[in-house]
Amino acid sequence: MLSATTLAARPEFTVTTVNCRSDHTHFSAPEVRDDHRLVLVRRGRFRRQADGELADLDRTVGYIGAPNEEEGFSHPAGGDVCTAVTIEPGLLEGDVSSRAVYVDARIELAHRRMLTAAAGGDIDYAVTEELVRLVALAAERPTSRPRPADRMLVTAARDAIINGAPESGGLPSLAVLLKVSPYRLSRVFSQHMGVSLTHYRNRIRVGQALDRITDGETGLADLAAHLGFADQAHLTRTVREHLGHTPTALHRLLTPTLQPRRRKAPPE
């Protein structure tokens, strides 16, 4: 079952939260849409099949959809919550082509900043500016299309890292879990995702740090220990490497600035 909440809307775009409670493992009946859209997962995961291409989607892989594609969805792991952004192509320069997108930490931060702007209520400037920045970042980061066996291997590695499997603490143990050599796992993962396993693991931890910072976490030493960093300096260094901001600066960026209410004019 789907439910949708519109966060911001203008003739050129819409920003919607989509909540899917479906748990079917088979693909839905094919459907065709007539818009350009960017879909980013906020919670859960699902699969999309579009024009014969299969993508496994979670917080680290989203997709750009284009008009006239035939697409279907399955939810083998339960429901999910996504942000769906529909856009008119004229908002951006260049082509916005359909494809899976690796959601690096920069894109996740841009996504969160857009949601923060929507909470602030300034649709015509703040939301529009953050939305354009988000879609431009996503449009420049394609994900390659591996062979089916390689795709399954990469998906299993992503699942183990995202879910915090004990074996994901190191490349050799992760390779043993997935029954491949460390060399093959590293090579296939880098070819498909465009980043190393080390970078991906840190990207997941940076995303978890963003969760805690967004929720108001200010104790950086405790946050570093919880996420498995060597110390607070290691956390700060990694976050700055991925996002260009310190955790303290991110707290300021992700705190909504509400628009002041207009006072009613006194009666004449």
Query: What pTM does this model have?
Result: 0.82
Strand order in the sheet with 99-102: 2-10, 13-20, 80-87, 36-44, 61-65, 99-102
The answer to whether residue 114 scores a pLDDT higher than 90 is: yes
The answer to whether residue 125 scores a pLDDT higher than 90 is: no
DSSP string, 193-260: HSS-HHHHHHHHHHHHHHHHHHTT---HHHHHHHTT-SSHHHHHHHHHHHHSS-HHHHHHHTS--PPP
Q: What is the pLDDT of residue 9?
A: 94
The answer to whether residue 214 scores a pLDDT higher than 90 is: no
Q: Which two tokens stand for residue 17?
A: 């939260």
Q: What is the pLDDT of residue 255?
A: 74
Q: What is the pLDDT of residue 264?
A: 57
pLDDT in tens, 191-213: 889 899 999 999 999 999 999 98
Q: Which two tokens stand for residue 97?
A: 């082509």
pLDDT in tens, 17-36: 999 887 667 888 889 999 99
pLDDT bin (cut points 50, 70, 90) of residue 146 is low
On whether the CB atoms of residues 85 and 131 are closer than 8 A, the answer is yes
Q: What is the pLDDT of residue 5?
A: 96
d(CA 201, CA 210): 14
If phi > 0 it is left, if psi is from -120 to 50 it is alpha, else beta; for residue 73 that is beta
Q: What is the pLDDT of residue 7?
A: 96
- Please calculate the CA angle 80-84-105 and round it to the nearest 5 degrees: 80
Q: What is the mean pLDDT of residues 142-165?
A: 86
pLDDT bin (cut points 50, 70, 90) of residue 82 is very high
* Mean pLDDT, the chain, integer: 88
Q: What is the pLDDT of residue 53?
A: 86
Provide the 3-class DSSP secondary structure of residue 125: helix
Phi/psi at 2 (5° precision): -105, 140
pLDDT in tens, 154-167: 999 999 999 999 99
Provide the 3-class DSSP secondary structure of residue 123: helix
On whether the CB atoms of residues 13 and 91 are closer than 8 A, the answer is yes
The answer to whether residue 95 scores a pLDDT higher than 70 is: no
